[in-house]
Chain A
């Protein structure tokens, strides 16, 4: 970096040197005014007495990028000398390993790599068989036993609900229910229905005696 600073124009040291050089040149030119080719030449009446003051002092155009690169290279050489050799070798090995892995990936087929996994070939065969079985199942016409009966029942149920309901369907149901209820009631009374009141009374007394109501 020190070299860059020396070349740059912001260095006060360089500025003072430039001023010193200019002043020495100016002194020299003052002593030899006849060497100025524009001394007696006017540009519309204006005399350019010191037009050649800085002639011959052209700042050297230096390629800064080249200088920066040179300084960086120098710094890197210094850093390389500082870093232990083992780390450098390690980095070289890492880079080499990556390149080897990349070469392997480029040259290897993915399916082959998967099949190289233990058991992967068996899994692949199983999946293939399942896919083939599924294809065969989907291509086979479906036949469910009794499906036609179920369809007919569904259609009959649908027709039933679509048919307007009339109360004529309930004709006679109430009468049948009443008959059944009377039969049930008759069956309950049947045990004592054909008995006389005296027999029923005796039976009741026996029950009450059994329960401890009447001695």
Chain B
């Protein structure tokens, strides 16, 4: 992974502007590079806000629903490492109850089970 991309993702993670989440979603989670998608998903989880967590939980093909197992597992590990898991649990419950895609609901249910065990 390009070192400049790594520094850009870190800068966007630390940025207070909410537009940083949009940039991370558009450029990072849609990157063809698995490492960029993985690093971006972890950055969105570390932000630990509703908009950033929603991207990696309810979107098909992103975050915990990524087709790359490495990206999905890395995102799940980052979620499990959060100190404040209240927002994550809330989003997971909404996803399990309201989401239309069964596979997304299944992934959300698995992550919630892991959170309960951790």
Partner pick for A208 among B17, B20, B27, CB 8 A cutoff: B27
Closest-CB distance, A177 to chain B (whole angstroms):
20
| Residue pair B10, A188 in contact (C-beta under 8 Å) | yes
Tell yes or no: A12 within 8 A of B by CB: no
| Residue pair B27, A197 in contact (C-beta under 8 Å) | no
A195→B14 CA distance, assembly (Å): 12
- Assuming A197-B23, A213-B32, is B8 touching A192 (CB within 8 A)? yes
Closest-CB distance, A197 to chain B (whole angstroms):
4
Q: How many chain-B residues does the 8 Å CB contact rule pick out?
A: 18
Partner pick for A197 among B5, B7, B15, B32, CB 8 A cutoff: B15
Partner pick for B2 among A195, A198, A211, CB 8 A cutoff: A211
Q: How many chain-A residues does the 8 Å CB contact rule pick out?
A: 19
| Residue pair B27, A189 in contact (C-beta under 8 Å) | no
Tell yes or no: B4 within 8 A of A by CB: yes
Residues of A within 8 A of B20 (CB): 197, 200
Tell yes or no: A40 within 8 A of B by CB: no
A208→B27 CA distance, assembly (Å): 9
Partner pick for B4 among A198, A201, A207, A213, CB 8 A cutoff: A207
Show 7 A/B contacts (Cβ-Cβ < 8 Å), sorted by A.
A188-B10, A197-B12, A197-B19, A200-B20, A207-B2, A208-B5, A213-B32
